Amino acid sequence: MPTRTPTSPSPTLAAPLLTVRLLEEVDMLPGQTVELEGTDILVTLLEAHGPREGCDDCPVQATLQVSRADESQTLQYSFSGNMLMELREKARRKEAFGYIFAAARVAEGEFTLRVEPLTE
């Protein structure tokens, strides 16, 4: 009877780093990192929790880690559909390293990021 040599699992390939341009949207999953084109800024989605199914007014929460060189900032998002539009829009936008990191969409385990220039 022939002997079988156990095969070793193939090495896991790292997911390619996505690049996002200013004013473009990129979909992210927890643990995924994207780089801001033309900068040394990296953005990692730590968590994203959307509203319960069928509950558009339930709160959503997400956490991003934004890093540059040896600096890092944690951005936390929390808002719901029943907030005043002005307050909800403010809660969707967080500032770090001279840019606005906007939560274009948050669902359970999903986050859509849009990076905007900081205008004063």
Asked if 42 and 35 touch (Cβ cutoff 8 Å), the reply is: yes
The answer to the question of residue 63 being in a domain is yes
The answer to the question of residue 7 being in a domain is no
Q: Residue-wise pLDDT tens for the chain (120 aa)?
A: 444 344 344 444 455 588 999 999 999 999 999 999 999 999 999 999 988 788 878 899 999 999 999 999 999 999 998 899 999 999 999 999 999 999 999 999 999 999 999 986
Q: What is the pLDDT of residue 3?
A: 40
Q: What is the pLDDT of residue 38?
A: 94
**CB within 8 Å of 74: residues ≥ 6 apart:** 46, 63, 64, 65, 66
Q: How many domains does the chain have?
A: 1
Strand partners, 77: 62
The answer to the question of residue 69 being in a domain is yes
* DSSP assigned state of 36: E
User: Does this model's pTM top 0.75?
Assistant: yes
Range of the domain at 44: 19-117
The answer to the question of residue 5 being in a domain is no
Q: What is the pLDDT of residue 17?
A: 81
- Which is nearest to 115 in space by CA: 16, 17, 18, 26? 26
Q: What is the pLDDT of residue 8?
A: 40
Q: What is the pLDDT of residue 15?
A: 54
- 3-state DSSP call for residue 61? strand
